[in-house]
């Protein structure tokens, strides 16, 4: 089953967003999210939001397993251009085009027919808070500080110089 999501009027030029989109095309959902979360480009954040939105709609609307999805098609199209003017010398004005992008994403299943049952979703939601409490009670918060407090042996009578004018 295909799941579609669309982002319109993104105020980043399509040429710049295509650089990010090319990184995640034909990838599974997990690696694609990791790539987008660590990407340095400005357009990575809105594309990650779009991907998360598509995953949420696949999970909630079609009861599809997010681990079974991959990005089958993702396109970046040009949106409308906002025209602005900048003053130049001798009273002239030069135009600037502020470009926008439309991004469309299509998710498909790797294995057809693998769905998430509603009962398992409810069980996972109930189990998470209980397991979070038990894990926080089991591990004290100050273990890491104890490891840092152990004194290290100091080197005695060794003066290390990085730069020497004369050889010894």
Q: 117 falls in which pLDDT band (50, 70, 90)?
A: low
* Residue burial 101-122, b: 16+ Cβ < 10 Å; e: rest: bbbbbebbbeeeeeebeeeeee
pLDDT tens digits, residue range 4-61? 999 999 999 999 999 999 999 999 999 999 999 999 999 999 999 999 999 999 999 9
pLDDT of residue 19: 96
Q: Which CATH superfamily is domain 3-86+94-121 in?
A: Ribosomal protein L22/L17 (3.90.470.10)
pLDDT tens figures, 94-113:
999 999 999 999 999 998 87
Q: Using the predicted structure, report yes or no on whether residue 132 has a pLDDT greater than 60.
A: no
The tens digit of pLDDT for each residue in 49-92 reads: 999 999 999 999 999 999 999 999 999 999 999 999 999 999 99
Q: How confident is the model at residue 159 (pLDDT cuts 50, 70, 90)?
A: low
Verdict on whether the full-model pTM lies above 0.75: no
Long-range contacts of the stretch 46-54 (C-beta < 8 A, 24+): 46/7, 46/10, 46/12, 46/103, 47/7, 47/17, 47/20, 47/21, 47/103, 49/7, 50/5, 50/6, 50/7, 50/103, 50/105, 51/5, 51/24, 51/105, 53/5, 54/3, 54/4, 54/5, 54/105, 54/107
* pLDDT for res 100: 98
- Asked whether residue 144 carries a pLDDT value surpassing 60, the answer given is no
**Domain ranges within the chain, ordered by starting residue:** 3-86+94-121
Distance CA 63, CA 65 (A): 7
């Amino acid at each position: 089953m295909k799941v579609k999501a669309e982002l319109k009027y993104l105020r980043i030029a399509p040429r710049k967003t295509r650089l990010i989109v090319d990184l995640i095309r034909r990838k599974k959902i997990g690696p694609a999210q990791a790539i987008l979360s660590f990407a340095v480009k400005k357009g990575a954040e809105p594309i990650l939001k779009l991907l998360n939105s598509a995953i949420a709609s696949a999970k909630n609307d079609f009861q599809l397993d997010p681990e079974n999805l991959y990005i089958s098609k993702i396109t970046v199209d040009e949106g409308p251009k906002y025209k602005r003017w900048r003053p130049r010398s001798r009273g002239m004005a030069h135009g600037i085009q502020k470009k926008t992008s439309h991004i469309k994403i299509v998710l498909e299943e790797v294995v057809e027919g693998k769905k998430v049952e509603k009962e398992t979703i409810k069980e996972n939601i109930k189990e998470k808070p209980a397991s979070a409490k038990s894990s926080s009670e089991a591990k004290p918060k100050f273990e890491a500080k104890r490891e840092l407090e152990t004194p290290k042996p100091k080197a005695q009578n060794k003066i290390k110089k990085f730069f020497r004018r004369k050889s010894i």
